[in-house]
Structure 1
Amino acid sequence: MIVVLMGYMGSGKSTIGKKLATLLNYDFLDLDDFISENENSSILSIFKEKGEIYFRKKETESLKEIIDSKENVVLGLGGGTPCYGNNLSLLKNGKNVITFYLKLSIKNLAERLRTERDERPLISHLTSEEELLEFIGKHLFERAPYYSQADYNINADDKSKKDILENILMHLI
């Protein structure tokens, strides 16, 4: 089985994904890390040197490769992955793929991302709390229709990591 976690940046895909993989005795894969390793370059460098279209093409190729060749994996997607190309279709039609949307409010995402601005290229230019809230709100509005097509929507607002993991595990058993 491939357990896929999707959601906005800061939603906990990597944190929850690593813990879930340990509990299931699966490997954890971060799609952005997978692309970086294959390209021998950081995501930021790929965007700067080759552009977003190139990155999105590599993202789709990598997603397809993982779905076609891996098993017993927890996969954390990039925040935009399900929203581009035929990525959502690949996920929904993938054999033994089960998807979870880690859903958080704009307010909670902003709280999590506030201290991570410098490490997140998409939001590093935002200087005020108001700008951050507006940016996240706009993106969530655009991306929610994709995220909500996950097999399961997990409300992660004000939930402990343990509660989120238990909620996911209930759907896997």
Structure 2
Amino acid sequence: MGFLSAYSDTRKIDLGGGYWVEIKECLSIVEKQRAEKALSSGPVFDQNGRGSAQMDMPAFHTEMVVASITAWNLDEDDGTVWPLTPEPVKRKNVARLPASVFDQIFKEVDELNGPKPARERAQFPEPGLGGDPDGHGGATEPGDVLGGAAAVAAPGAAPSGPGDPSVA
């Protein structure tokens, strides 16, 4: 089993009435970057030449859904299943989805490819949010923090005076 095998699963979404859509559980970086590129529609300039960026959320959502769908059983009245190939036909058929169905699919896609849930992030805190690599959280009482000359003493110097063991 190769590395990418762990990222190649799909999930079936029940749309009711016997209909379903199958989506990838994990998009590739190229697919995700294509969606992120669609997110920014480019700069818009006002009459004074000041530019601002516009965010195209519908284009982002569409790219994520189109990249995620691998199969479905959505059909015409005569039973013909809507084709998913070639790509332009797939896009046209995704555009035919009722808004509520599209939103249901996007919700799943977003959860699978978005940030990790809080419980998973808690296991891997952001760098600099506490403790050293060994898990020691540092001083817990003010008495644990050395001050004055003891805090800046050179290695081997006595920390507080004659007779105390030297610092290594």
- Normalising by the residue count of structure 2, what TM-score does the alignment of the two structures yield? 0.25
Instruction: Work out which structure has the larger RCO, using CA pairs closer than 8 Å and 6 or more positions apart in sequence.
Output: 1
Q: Decide which structure has the larger Cα Rg and report it.
A: 2
